[in-house]
Structure 1
Amino acid sequence: MAFTPKIEINADKTAVNVLWDPTHTSRCNVKWLRFHCRCKRCVPEFSGMFPLDKDEFDDELYLTSAQGKDGVLHVQIDKEVMENHETAIPFEWLKENCNCDSCLKADIARSNFNFANPATTSVPRVCYDSLQSQEGKFECLKQIVDVGFCVIENVTRESLTVLKVGEMFGYIRSTLYEKFFDVKYEPDPYNSAYTSLGLPYHQDLPYYEAMPGVQLLHALEFDDSIKGGESQLVDLFHVADILKKESPENFKVLCTVPGTFQTKDLNRPNPAWYEHTRTHIEVDYFGNTVAIYWNPGVEGALRVRFEDEERYFKAYVHFLRILRRKELEFCFRMKPGDLIIFNNRRMAHARKEYNTKEGKRHLQGCYINLDDMKSTYMVLAHKLGKKVVPPKVGNRCWY
């Protein structure tokens, strides 16, 4: 027999209390219950259907009955707009979506990042051949979800292979750099990436309203004779977490005082004029960090009130000093045939300076959408029978 918890309607008949056990109660508002009815009349048969128009309901709704039977909560309300309708919600679904403080905190904790320690965590690696199986692709994605990046080894060293790998996980994202780009030394560059200079920690393209979520870089050439050019990665969410603990005030400043990101270059092959003003750290309804934006190389003029300027720069430098702590850094050298795939919304990446006279270093890159990659991860988990929760990935959502 299906479990039936104790059901109580509150005194003003606007909510139902579902008592799962003496220590756990779900409080469900009458509108929340009605608008989440799982009956066939209310749940769309396929995406894009709109069987329920919330605007048709009265502003004030009240419960007339609530009871549990055969594992389902059955609720009736006054002023129902559907003829002969009874709200029906399985208790299993109701418990999975419980909004009590304890359940919300547990769900957030399950979805949240677990920060890897570079001192004790090896650079995550998988073999290219393993990606031919669903299990192999899932393992690669799991490393990106858990650590923030993964190196795929022994990838075919053919031009545009990076696009083929990207398409295994999501749709290619075209930007002002088009569908793919070559990162190599150029005598007359229009971007610092095309020099041999070291690159400080940054995310790519934060001047887009929705900057690319995932970046892939494939080492077509990286001669042993080249000194330098190592790849560096730091988890920005870990940086923000440390900042919040060390200085709640500086953390709050970077959540409220916006910086400016821009690129204005009318002389490049594809002229560009992008700018976006946003805070460096974004928090959600629960006050938890859900997005970070960082790229000192494309910052524009700070356009805020005078009284916020000093507070902003103090908080900014604090964040930067944490970001530069060596104990937070993954540093490694790519080999020819290596392909790194990393979460551009979570990880800041950098490059050490190298000498172009000693050999060739040629990487080919592209972007894919973060939401597509997360979808692929969840679909593969479902197909493989793996119990995973939707992970937090830095796309402004807590799960």
Structure 2
Amino acid sequence: MLSCRYLIGRLLLGRPASTVARSLAPGYVEIREANHGSEVLKYPQIWLRDNCQCPDCFHASTRARKSHWERGPLNIEVSKLNYNPEQQKLEVTWQDDHQSTYDMAWLRERDFGEAARKRYLEEVYKPPPQLWGKSDFPAMRREFDYQDVLEKDKVLRSWLEALAVQGFAILKEAPDDVNVARKLAERIGYIKRTTYGDVFEVKSKPNAGNYAYLMTPLPLHTDMPYYEYKAGINILHTLVQSESLGGANTLTDGFNVAAALQRHHPQDFEVLRSVPVNWFDIGHDGDADKPFHSLWRAPVICLDVDGQFARINQNTTKRDSRFTVPLDRAMAWYEAYNKFLSLAQSEAVEFKTQAGDVFVFNNLRMLHGRTAYEDAPGNKRHLVGAYVDWDIIYSRLRTLKFPHARD
């Protein structure tokens, strides 16, 4: 068993330094910082060795670990610990005489304690979503000026945070320009190209190849559940709005619906979380010469590795008639699905964008739809849309929140 070695920091101005570092069996290092409320930081020795910051082990300019696991960090233990109070560093000598130095601020950011882990996941990884229902919609609705988003990083950050937290936002005063959706996507980073192109038009079309190109009601849905890498956000710019009574947007927070189902109907929630559904899209778009046959098999409710809501799949028009599950699971699924859609409808809000509005929403979370409308010879409803993946959005948001992360 590894013997414990204690080191109390050297004297500062005649008083003993407050930080105590010690190695503990089996295989941990503990740092007690009295000047930080006597908090105790605790790290596995193997993690410290794996993350050695010396030039032999770490390439600073690329922020990349270059030590080789084959050197055997699993079996190399701490030989000596020293806390350097002047430099605020932990100094480690290993049994193979390798030397490692760790800045205390760096260590605190990587504390294994619950508070530090929660802070990292919520402030750096992803802002936690704020779920909302129908009565909450007025308070959740965020509006931004289109030009401000294009020109001001502070506004861009606020807009992206609204998409991450509330799940949607509306931009006002966009010009009468078919490139608005593209410009917003490129302001974030990179547009997502799909079988419908890098931008797409939503308007009534003869011989429509997609249900959205009809003037009939569009039921609550998410776009492209038939993609493994489903589009992250949908950017919809209203160029021309219908003057008929219809053409209004409908919207429901799918995560909120899933949470309500989990609370009140846990068995149905488990069915929709576990039973895979076949989602499909077959055809071609407009004059495109390349047909497509897209398929993806996934449940309605998808969770991430932490058990949090990650993705809602719902699109009645794109749900395959092939249901490749055992017969008894199919029956249970329909009962659970009916409850999910009933809840979604009961929490749906309705609003109508006007020309110059850009409606942007989280396509992994929000169920959206449209009421029926009628085109007239001088008034044909016309929207232009684009997609951006959440990997790109979160990356952009972090560069805005932490501009000195690479320093």
- What's the TM-score once normalised by structure 1's chain length? 0.84
User: In angstroms, what is the RMSD of aligned CA positions?
Assistant: 2.8
1:178 CA drift (Å): 0.8
> What is the rounded CA distance, in whole Å, between the counterparts of 1:315 and 1:171 in structure 2?
37
CA change 1:250–1:322 in 2 (3 A) is same
> What is the rounded CA distance, in whole Å, between the counterparts of 1:238 and 1:43 in structure 2?
43
> What is the rounded CA distance, in whole Å, between the counterparts of 1:94 and 1:49 in structure 2?
17
Kept after mapping to 2: 8 A contact 1:202/1:349: yes
2:263 equivalent to 1:245: yes
CA change 1:119–1:277 in 2 (3 A) is closer
User: Please, which moves more after superposition, 186-195 or 34-43?
Assistant: 34-43
Kept after mapping to 1: 8 A contact 2:195/2:285: no
User: Please, which moves more after superposition, 374-383 or 109-118?
Assistant: 109-118
CA change 1:314–1:106 in 2 (3 A) is farther
**Among residues 54, 76, 79, which one is paired with 1:64 in the alignment?**
79
CA change 1:370–1:102 in 2 (3 A) is closer
What's the CA shift string for 1:244-296, capped at 9, x where partnerless? 22233333333322222111236974311111112333333432223333323
Counterpart AA for 1:112: P
Of the two, which has the highest radius of gyration? 2
1:138 CA drift (Å): 2.2
2:102 equivalent to 1:95: no
What's the CA shift string for 1:301-354, capped at 9, x where partnerless? 22123443333333333322222223xx34211111111222212222111111
The answer for the alignment partner of 2:310 in structure 1 is: 290
The answer for the alignment partner of 1:34 in structure 2 is: 49
CA change 1:53–1:272 in 2 (3 A) is same
Counterpart AA for 1:97: R
The answer for the alignment partner of 2:5 in structure 1 is: none
- Structure 1 gaps of 5+ residues are 388-399
> What is the rounded CA distance, in whole Å, between the counterparts of 2:178 and 2:115 in structure 1?
51
1:148 CA drift (Å): 1.2
What's the CA shift string for 1:128-167, capped at 9, x where partnerless? 2212222232232232223112211111112223212221
**Among residues 114, 127, 130, which one is paired with 2:130 in the alignment?**
114
The answer for the alignment partner of 1:194 in structure 2 is: 213
Counterpart AA for 1:146: V
User: Please, which moves more after superposition, 27-36 or 96-105?
Assistant: 96-105
% identical aligned pairs? 24
The answer for the alignment partner of 1:73 in structure 2 is: 90
The answer for the alignment partner of 2:388 in structure 1 is: 368
Aligned with 2:106: secondary structure?
helix
> What is the rounded CA distance, in whole Å, between the counterparts of 1:351 and 1:38 in structure 2?
55
The answer for the alignment partner of 1:232 in structure 2 is: 250
- Structure 2 gaps of 5+ residues are 1-11
CA change 1:217–1:19 in 2 (3 A) is same
User: Please, which moves more after superposition, 348-357 or 56-65?
Assistant: 56-65
1:91 CA drift (Å): 2.2
CA change 1:92–1:255 in 2 (3 A) is farther
Counterpart AA for 1:38: Q
CA change 1:97–1:211 in 2 (3 A) is same
Kept after mapping to 2: 8 A contact 1:39/1:89: no
**Among residues 323, 330, 342, which one is paired with 1:302 in the alignment?**
323
User: Please, which moves more after superposition, 281-290 or 187-196?
Assistant: 281-290
CA change 1:218–1:45 in 2 (3 A) is same
Kept after mapping to 1: 8 A contact 2:302/2:312: yes
Kept after mapping to 2: 8 A contact 1:226/1:360: no
Aligned residues: 377
The answer for the alignment partner of 2:25 in structure 1 is: 11
Kept after mapping to 2: 8 A contact 1:228/1:352: yes
CA change 1:166–1:11 in 2 (3 A) is closer
CA change 1:51–1:318 in 2 (3 A) is same
2:296 equivalent to 1:276: yes
Aligned with 2:295: secondary structure?
strand
Higher RCO (CA 8 Å, separation ≥ 6 residues): 1
CA change 1:340–1:45 in 2 (3 A) is same
CA change 1:67–1:140 in 2 (3 A) is same
Kept after mapping to 1: 8 A contact 2:310/2:364: no
What's the CA shift string for 1:39-80, capped at 9, x where partnerless? 3443323338551222332543433233322322223333x5
Aligned with 1:158: secondary structure?
coil
> What is the rounded CA distance, in whole Å, between the counterparts of 2:147 and 2:294 in structure 1?
39
> What is the rounded CA distance, in whole Å, between the counterparts of 1:261 and 1:105 in structure 2?
35
Aligned with 1:88: secondary structure?
strand
The answer for the alignment partner of 1:182 in structure 2 is: 201
> What is the rounded CA distance, in whole Å, between the counterparts of 2:83 and 2:329 in structure 1?
56
**Among residues 340, 351, 366, which one is paired with 1:332 in the alignment?**
351
The answer for the alignment partner of 1:395 in structure 2 is: none
